[in-house]
Structure 1
Amino acid sequence: MKKAVTTAKTIDEAVELALKELAVPKSRVKVRVLEEPSKGFLGLIGTKNAKVEVEVNHDPVEDGKAFLADVLDKMKVSVRIETRPHEDGILFDIVGENLGMIIGRRGQTLDSLQYLVNVVANRHAQKHVRIVLDAENYRTKRKEALEQLAGRIAQKAVSTRRSVRLEPMSAAERKVIHAYLQSRTDVVTYSEGEEPQRYIVVSPKQAKEA
């Protein structure tokens, strides 16, 4: 845990010094008084300063956001990060212009950043928090594109009566394909291969059951 020990004439002054050192607001810390201040004899001799220990209470969302902001700053991109609830947890929406570098080819850079943000955010968290990164509404657009692909591939499998193998995808993208096709009664989906080359196979139901 990140903490600081400071001394000053009063407890409040010592706490303020610690907050400046830690660069966090008072709402995010726990304060423990190690030594009470005392004025000593006649208020002059033996004067004793207050001594406090200020410890940061880790907020996984704040930790993740701070880490992401630092990474994006080093990438020299001018953006802002908006946070809001998401069906999978908390969404970090990266807002700005020309975000292609952040998204990367087929979202690979965005996925890598998301993985790192989740690692940092949950490093000290008592309860795991799932953080989703998005930029330029990429996640929604990609989901729609994958669902359209799934529909076309399912139709191809049924019409040719042959299994169709898709190109390797991330676990999150495979999940979209499986979820979209699971209600169909004429095809089945399953994954094969090893990461990162794991892929989905869409088969007409008769071919799979045979």
Structure 2
Amino acid sequence: MKKALASAKTIDEAVDKALQELGVTKERVSVRVLEEPSKGFLGLIGTRDAKVEVELNYDPVEEGRSFLADVLRQMDLQVTIETAKQSDHYQFNMIGQDLGMVIGRRGHTLDSLQYLVNVVANKHSDKHVRIILDAENYRAKRKEALEKLAARLAHKAIQTRRNVRLEPMSAAERKVIHAFLQSRSEVVTFSEGEEPHRYIVVSPKTKEASR
């Protein structure tokens, strides 16, 4: 945990100095008064400043956000990070110019960065939090593209009565395909292969499929 010690004529002044050192607001810290201020004899001799210890309360979401902001600065990108609380996760939406390098090919860079943000956020957290990164609404656009691909290949599997194998995808993208085709009674989906080359197979139900 990050801590700061500070001394000043009053407790409030000492706390303010410690907050400036930590670069946070008072709402994010715990304050312990180590020494009360004392005026001493006749207010002149033996005066003693207040001394406080200010400890930063660990906030996994803020830690993840701070880490992401540092990475983006090192990439020399001017990006605004918007945080949104969802039912089962937090979402960091990155808004700025030239975010293609943050997304990477088929979102690989975005996924890797998301993994690191989650590692940092949960490193000292008692309760696990899940953080999803997005940039330029990439997640929604990619989901739409995957669902269109799934529909097209399901139709192909039914028409040809053959299994159709997709190219290797991440676990998150495979989940999109599986979920989208789950309601299709004409096909069944399953995964084959080993990571990172694991892929989905779309198989028709109408007749035993030919591989």
TMscore range, shorter length: over 0.9
Match of 1:124 in 2: 124
TM-score of the pair, normalised by structure 2: 0.92
Q: Deviations over 1:59-110 (max 9, x none)?
A: 2222211111111111011221122234552221111122111111001111
Hey, what does 2:188 align to over in structure 1?
188
Within 1, Cα distance between the matches of 2:65 and 2:94? 11
Correspondence list, 1:111-190, <5 A = 111-190=111-190
Q: How many residue pairs get matched?
A: 210
Alpha-carbon spacing, 1:41–1:208, altered in 2? closer, same or farther (3 Å): farther
1:205 counterpart residue number: 205
Matches within 5 A, 1:31-42: 31-42=31-42
Distance change (3 Å), C-alpha of 1:202 and 1:88? farther
Q: Once structures 1 and 2 are overlaid, which stretch shifts more, 56-65 or 171-180?
A: 56-65
Which runs of 5 or more structure 2 residues have no equivalent in the other structure? none
Where 1:18 maps in the other structure, the secondary structure is helix
Q: TM-score, normalised by structure 1?
A: 0.93
Which residues of 2 match residues 80-91 of structure 1 at below 5 A?
A: 80-86=80-86, 88-91=88-91
Could you list the runs of 5+ residues in structure 1 that have no partner in the other structure?
Answer: none
- Alignment partners' CA distance in 1, 2:91 and 2:142: 16
Structure 1 residue 165, shift from structure 2 partner:
1.2
Q: Work out the CA distance in 1 between the residues paired with 2:31 and 2:199.
A: 52
Contact 1:147 1:177 in 2 (8 A): yes
| Post-superposition CA distance 1:98-133 (Å, at most 9, x none) | 211111100111111111111112222232222111
- CA gap 1:24/1:165 in 2 versus in 1, 3 angstroms: same
2 CA distance for matches of 1:35 and 1:194? Answer: 61
**Is contact 2:193–2:199 with CA below 8 Å preserved after alignment?**
yes
What is the CA-CA distance between 1:136 and the residue it aligns to?
1.2
Q: Distance in 2 between matches of 1:87 and 1:18?
A: 35
The separation in 2 between residues aligned to 1:191 and 1:90, in whole angstroms, is: 28
- The 1:149/1:209 distance shift into structure 2, 3 A limit, reads closer
RMSD: 1.8
| Aligned-pair identity (%) | 72
Asked if the contact 1:188/1:208 (under 8 Å) is kept, the reply is no
